[in-house]
Structure 1
């Protein structure tokens, strides 16, 4: 019997899941998204980096699915002639303390099978990235940049070609397992709609905890949104770097810090920083969203996180409040950058999952039942890993159904 499936969320992960089901399983697939176009949230508001797997705990889902995802993504963009630039990345140490941290990072890269990852000294850094300054660096030559919205649109086209349906402008307002099927209620153009499905897979990103609550799961891990601003430099500044220039992760801080990243459209970006957002989908400097603010301030885990990360808040507040401080962070690594023409680019909002204990949930998290599968946490490298996450989620969903 043909399986009736609804996939919630038209970002790159949800679209990849729906496309895989429609192409490789006996299923009628409906993709639901509240926006008027695919990739309307995190997929369309990030740096476009294709991560090689430097940072992730060996053996974790992140490490495994990132490496698998890179290969699948590269095949996909080649097939669809989507812009992809393997420009490489250097993780730059400015002093000996930072230089010491690169050994552990390199060990992870080797354990994860990152191609060509190697440590270089000051002269080696200059050979790879003449505009960068530092005492030591980790070079990842296969780290790349891509147009993720274009990837998502191509996935959506393959979904419809395989007989699937994309319903845009349909906001999910309720999910209920009735025993014989799962009822999904939606709101479209002010009118209620809905349908019954044998399987529902929710890839809701910034709304993942709220979707989980609809089916009776715990709201924890809770989504706490952090925005990240980007500055865009004039096109003539693209030549200031050959690839990406990143700082060394500091274990005292939960977020990486400002870095220099080219985009496939030929411009150079600085960012992102990370600061608490007063709205889960607030991409501009809009008024706070009361429901989103209350979700944060009423969550004990956030206050535990805040108390443990005061130095990080001070660091990030500098770049949040001062454009000059923001661009100055990037010039620490590339002193020759002319930032006089920098303008604010698109803001992104990170769907940061956080536990009741105040700790950030690091790895991918997938929960649910045999009828409702929930992608609860898919942070960076979620976009890089999207096609591999889709494989994993679909396999998990089918395995759960077979165990009924």
Structure 2
């Protein structure tokens, strides 16, 4: 086994996979090591999201979010077409159900145009004609939004990387230390109970919910902490498999980074609703039952968390209510799809989103990178990171070549 690589990547989610592919495209004669603590790629955020290829409806014009998402929309759909990956550019309708939401929808309409999209405002009657099962006072149709299976996308990116360069995969490998020296960067891993030492000329860390931990492990300054938010989804009864031909979203609260409980047609022909956004008890606390003292202490000892929760206390309570009461969850859906009942909701796998929060309790809304002479850490990769993975990777690799 090789001991020294030109590039070492931590994380085999979609961002890490895209970085591996981009490095392979630009440096086909270089060696790449990809380190992943799970036995397979895309086991966490990448494989547990709603599968939406976002178009860039919500993001501040000029922000990295807006630029990466718009570029990622085209790059992702092109990758799907070329590699026969399941996808559909079905579009989405954002539905306003009251006057306040209508005003927010007008703002979103202008933002869409600034983000190079072609939105179309809809009256209540136009919504009904497009989607007979959906109701609202007004709506906005964005035709560019799509759906796919991001696990398939990730596997494709990794296959393309391995076909173009010398890539070594270290699965079930936990990073225990990162040591940067003048002429290399060294990682100590544990794999199947054995300690492994590998070196590289450059490290790119795409560690998701563990991003801040690895930044601190390397000894780099880090003024934020990753806070895990759990998103709970439900699969609707099969009679709702064709409830809409498009994605149906509520108008989001601009103060929060989450988009509200939405109706999503899925690759596979079924429909899900969700997610909500509740504080998780750990970075992989999907079941909400298994509690790990170290994870609880990591959150409890972070002062920024309390400031965040207090600042958004009304939203926190509302989201918690959706987790505790299935009926209240249904009421969020009934605002725009009245036929859904509590009995129509079936368990669907939850996801956990890595959200960076500052020491002052502020949400980091945009992408954040932390770097040293021989490393670059993706510190915050908020939604739409899956959609944006290919342009994120291009940006990262361009920084390495300067």
Residue pair 1:4, 1:27 contacting (<8 A) in 2 also: yes
What's the secondary structure of 1:142's corresponding residue?
A: coil
Match for residue 108 of structure 1?
111
Could you tell me which residue of structure 2 aligns to residue 402 of structure 1?
none
The correspondence for 2:92, drawn from 81, 89, 92, is 89
1:369 matched residue in structure 2: 372
* 1:160-239 equivalences in 2 (<5 Å): 160-162=162-164, 163-239=166-242
SS at match of 1:75: helix
> 2: distance between equivalents of 1:376 and 1:264?
30
Structure 2 residue 306 is matched with structure 1 residue 303: yes
Deviation at 1:395, TM superposition (A): 0.6
Counterpart CA distance in 1 for 2:37 and 2:256 is 34
CA deviation after TM superposition for structure 1 residue 194, in Å: 1.7
How far 1:253 sits from its partner (Å)?
Answer: 4.3
Residue 132 (structure 1) aligned with residue 111 (structure 2): no
SS of corresponding position for 1:346? strand
Distance 1:71 1:251, change over 3 A: closer
CA offset digits 1:28-48 (Å, max 9, x no partner): 011110000000110001000
Q: Would you say 1:41 and 2:44 are equivalent positions?
A: yes
* Distance in 2 between residues matched to 1:178 and 1:360, nearest whole Å: 33
Q: State the partner residue of 2:155.
A: 153
Query: Is the contact made by 2:330 and 2:341 (CA closer than 8 Å) also made in structure 1?
Result: no
| SS at structure 1 position matched to 2:349 | coil
Superposition deviation, residue 328 in structure 1 = 2.3
Gaps of 5+ in 2: none
In 1, Cα distance between the equivalents of 2:389 and 2:336? 30
Change (3 A) 1:42 1:152: same
Which position in structure 2 is the counterpart of 1:358? 361
1:294 CA drift (Å): 1.3
CA distance in structure 2 between the aligned counterparts of 1:306 and 1:204, rounded to whole angstroms: 25
1:77–1:84 contact (8 Å) kept in structure 2: yes
Query: Secondary structure of the equivalent of 2:384?
Result: coil
Alpha-carbon distance in 2 for matches of 1:3, 1:322: 51
In the alignment, is residue 24 of structure 1 matched against residue 26 of structure 2?
Answer: yes
- Paired with 2:221 and 2:126, the residues of 1 have a C-alpha distance of 50
RMSD value, Cα: 1.4
The Cα shift of 1:191 comes to 1.3
Q: Deviations over 1:229-265 (max 9, x none)?
A: 0000133311111111111112454533211111111
Q: Is the 8 A contact 1:240 1:337 kept in 2?
A: no
Structure 2 CA distance for aligned equivalents of residues 48 and 347 of structure 1: 13
In structure 2, how many angstroms separate the alpha carbons of the residues matched to 1:172 and 1:15?
Answer: 18
TM-score (norm 1): 0.95
Change (3 A) 1:253 1:23: closer
- For the residues of structure 1 that align with 2:269 and 2:358, how far apart are their CA atoms? 39
CA contact (8 A) 1:43 1:148 kept: yes
The separation in 2 between residues aligned to 1:93 and 1:133, in whole angstroms, is 9
Question: Partner of 1:7 in structure 2?
Answer: 9
Tell me the SS of whatever aligns to 2:353: strand
